[in-house]
C-alpha cells in the first residue's frame, strides 16, 4: 500500500526564527494588527510504500529523525493519509 | 615528512581553495578530496571548508552528512585523526553527529560578514594547541546560520570537559555562551564558524588564522611516525 505523508517541521520553542519575526513585523503595515507568534517551518509531502499504516509510520518516524529534522532545533508532526 | 591535509569539496563548497592556499603557505601538502570519494586516502588531517554544501537544502549540512566520504571521515575521526570544520563545515560536523549542538539562524536576522575578535577558551584541541588560553585572535565571520545552540546538559558537558575552544569577544549572532568553536571529547574534531583561512596574510587585515591552522598541522605532525 502507498500512503500519502505530510511532515511538518517546526523550530522548537526558543529557537530563533528570523523569518517568522520579519513576517510578524510586516503584518501591521497591511492592517493585520492582532497577529502574534508567527513561526515559519517546512511542510514536506511524499508517499511511502508499506504493508500497513503502523509500518509506514515507523518508516516515516525514522526518516524524520535521520534526515528531515534536526532534533536539537526542530520538532516534527507526521500526518499519514489513507492509502491510495 | 610533509603533512598532508585533505580538503573536502562538496557540491556548493566555496572556500576550499582558500584553505588549500593557506595550508600550503604554512608548508603543508594540501589536496582536494571529492565528497563522492569512498575514502580519504592517506591524509594526516581533514578540513571541511565553508560554502553551501548541497545548496544547504533542507538545513545546512543535512544532506552533506550522507555524502559517501563522510563514512571514511567518521572512521578517521574515531581513530583520533584531526578533523576541522570551518563555517559550513562546522554545520556538516554537527549534522553528522561528530560534534554536539546545532547552528541556528543568527539572532539579529542578518547575514554577518565582518571581522570578529575571538578568545581562545581552550588550548587543548587540534586547532588551538599552538595558542594559549586567553589569546585573542581576529578572524572574519561570514554566515547566516552561525548561532550555536545546544541543550543545557550538553552545554554543561562542554564546559566541564573544557571543550569550548573559541568564544566571541563581542557576541555577533546570539550563540549560547558566546561559543564560536567547540571540539569533540577526543579533542581531535573541531568546528568553528569564523574563517581562519581568510586571515593568513597581514594584507587581509590579520594573519591570526596561521596560528590556528598551524596548530592543526602541529597536531597532524605529532601523529606521524618519527
Q: What is the pLDDT of residues B96-120, one digit of tens each?
A: 999 999 999 998 888 999 999 999 9
Nearest CA distance, A54 vs chain B (angstrom): 26
**Active site (annotated) includes residue B129:** no
* Residue matched to cell numbers 569577544: B169
Please state, rounded to an integer, the average pLDDT across all residues of chain B: 96
Going from the C-alpha of A9 to that of each of A44, A47, A68, B196, the distances in angstroms are 8, 17, 8, 34
Residues of B in contact with A16 (CB under 8 A): 104-107, 147, 174
**Per-residue pLDDT averaged across B134-138, rounded?**
98
Query: What span, in angstroms and rounded, lies between the C-alpha atoms of B216 and B210?
Result: 10
pLDDT digits (tens, 9 = 90+) for B166-210: 999 999 999 999 999 999 999 999 999 999 999 999 999 999 999
- b or e along A41-62 (b: 16 or more beta carbons within 10 Å of the residue's beta carbon)? beebeeebebeeeeebbeebee
Partner B, chain A 31-60, Cβ-Cβ below 8 Å? none
**Cβ contact (<8 Å) for B59 and A15?**
no
Q: Please give the backbone phi and psi of residue A71, each rounded to the nearest 5 degrees, phi first.
A: -60, -15
Nearest-Cα residue of chain A relative to residue B109: A18
Q: Judge whether residue B64 has pLDDT over 90.
A: yes
ipTM of the complex: 0.84
Backbone phi, psi, residue B178, to 5°: 60, 25
Q: Which residue of A has its CA nearest to B111?
A: A18
B197 as an active site residue: the answer is yes
- Count of domains forming chain B: 1
Residue A15 at interface with chain B, using a CB cutoff of 8 Å:
yes
CA distance B45 to B216: 8
Q: How far is B93 from chain A (nearest CA, A)?
A: 13
Contact B47, B84 (CB under 8 A): yes
What is the full DSSP assignment across A6-23? Answer: EEEEEEPTTS--HHHHHH
What is the distance in angstroms between the Cα of B76 and the nearest Cα belonging to chain A?
A: 22
- Go through the domains of chain A in sequence order and give each one's CATH number: 2-80 (3.30.1280.10)
**pLDDT digit string (tens) for A7-57?**
999 999 988 888 899 899 999 999 999 999 999 999 999 999 999 999 999
pLDDT of residue B226: 61
Cα B22 → chain centroid: 14
The CATH number that applies at residue B76 is 3.40.50.880
Which residue of A lies nearest to B151 if distances are taken between CA atoms?
Answer: A72
DSSP code at position B135 = -
* B105/A21 touch (CB, cutoff 8 Å), yes or no: no
The whole-angstrom separation of Cα A48 and Cα B40 is 35
- Best A18, A44, A69, A75 residue to mutate vs chain B (most B CBs within 10 Å): A18
pLDDT of residue A84: 85
Determine the structural domain holding residue B201 and report its residue range: 4-222
Amino acid at each position: 500500500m502507498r500512503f500519502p505523508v505530510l511532515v511538518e517541521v517546526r523550530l522548537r520553542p526558543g529557537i530563533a526564527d528570523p523569518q517568522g519575526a520579519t513576517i510578524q513585523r510586516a503584518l501591521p503595515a497591511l492592517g493585520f494588527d492582532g497577529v502574534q507568534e508567527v513561526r515559519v517551518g517546512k511542510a514536506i509531502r511524499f508517499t511511502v510504500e508499506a504493508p500497513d499504516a503502523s509500518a509506514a509510520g515507523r518508516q516515516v518516524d525514522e526518516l524524520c529523525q535521520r534526515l528531515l529534522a534536526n532534533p536539537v532545533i526542530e520538532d516534527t508532526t507526521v500526518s499519514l493519509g489513507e492509502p491510495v | 615528512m610533509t603533512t598532508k591535509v585533505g580538503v573536502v569539496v562538496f557540491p556548493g563548497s566555496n572556500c576550499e581553495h582558500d584553505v588549500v592556499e593557506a595550508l600550503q603557505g604554512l608548508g603543508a601538502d594540501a589536496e582536494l578530496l571529492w565528497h563522492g570519494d569512498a575514502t580519504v586516502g592517506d591524509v594526516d588531517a581533514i578540513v571541511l571548508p565553508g560554502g553551501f554544501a548541497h545548496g544547504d537544502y533542507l538545513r545546512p549540512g543535512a544532506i552533506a552528512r550522507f555524502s559517501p566520504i563522510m563514512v571514511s571521515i567518521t572512521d578517521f575521526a574515531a581513530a583520533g585523526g584531526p578533523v576541522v570544520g570551518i563555517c559550513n563545515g562546522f554545520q556538516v560536523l554537527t549534522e553528522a553527529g561528530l560534534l554536539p549542538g546545532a547552528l541556528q539562524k543568527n539572532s539579529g536576522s542578518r547575514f554577518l560578514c565582518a571581522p570578529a575578535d575571538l578568545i581562545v577558551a581552550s588550548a587543548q584541541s587540534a586547532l588551538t594547541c599552538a595558542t594559549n588560553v586567553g589569546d585573542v585572535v581576529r578572524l572574519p565571520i561570514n554566515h547566516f546560520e552561525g548561532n550555536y545552540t545546544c541543550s543545557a546538559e550538553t552545554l554543561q558537558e562542554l564546559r566541564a570537559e573544557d571543550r569550548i575552544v573559541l568564544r566571541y569577544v563581542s557576541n555577533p549572532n546570539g550563540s549560547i555562551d558566546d561559543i564560536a568553536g567547540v571540539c569533540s571529547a577526543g579533542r581531535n574534531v573541531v568546528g568553528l564558524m569564523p574563517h581562519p583561512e581568510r586571515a593568513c596574510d597581514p594584507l587581509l587585515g590579520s594573519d591570526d588564522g596561521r596560528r590556528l591552522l598551524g596548530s592543526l598541522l602541529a597536531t597532524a605532525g605529532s601523529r606521524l611516525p618519527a
